[in-house]
Amino acid sequence: MPPTNNVTRLLDARGIPYAAHELPNEKLSGLEAAAHLGVEPAAMFKTIVALRADGGKPVLALVAADAEVDLKALGKVLGAAKLSAASQAQAEQLTGLQTGGISPLALIGKGLDVVVDASAEEFATMYVSGGQRGLNLSLAPKDLLALTRARTAAISR
């Protein structure tokens, strides 16, 4: 039985359909998580924490496991002059979550901008971190977008 946490309780409380998938309780790359679950890498989304040059709130960018975030494109979407990718330590400190478990679903209400690569809309189901290492969730992109108030844009390469 996959673990239960604040994210799964939130989804249950809101009546959002999802499936929970267990992964090894270690930091896996998006490609490793996709392979472990037998999922197409393009449907597995990793969360990248980006930092604003002006010191404003960090940004969560979700891109497919087989892609890289395009920081210039992400900056354009947000009207931010310059963004940089957070280091592992910075991402963990800013989100309070371990890398491999950073999820926009665990950070709802924290005031972070969330941008999901437009490729997510091609799938009926997308896979994202469940807010802790060892837990991945699959759900409809429209549900993730609505819950997190995320924008979609072409932000990967």
CATH number at residue 63: 3.90.960.10
**Burial class of 31 by CB neighbour count within 10 A (0 to 12, 13 to 18, 19+):** middle
- Indicate whether 131 belongs to any domain: yes
At 4, list the tokens.
């239960």
- Residue 87: which domain range? 6-153
pLDDT digits (tens, 9 = 90+) for 67-126: 999 999 999 999 977 999 999 999 999 999 999 899 999 999 998 999 999 999 999 999
pLDDT digits (tens, 9 = 90+) for 36-75: 999 999 999 999 999 999 888 899 999 999 999 999 999 9
Q: What strands, in cross-sheet order, belong to the sheet with 113-117?
A: 83-85, 45-52, 59-64, 113-117, 151-153
- Indicate whether 98 belongs to any domain: yes
Overall domain count for the chain = 1
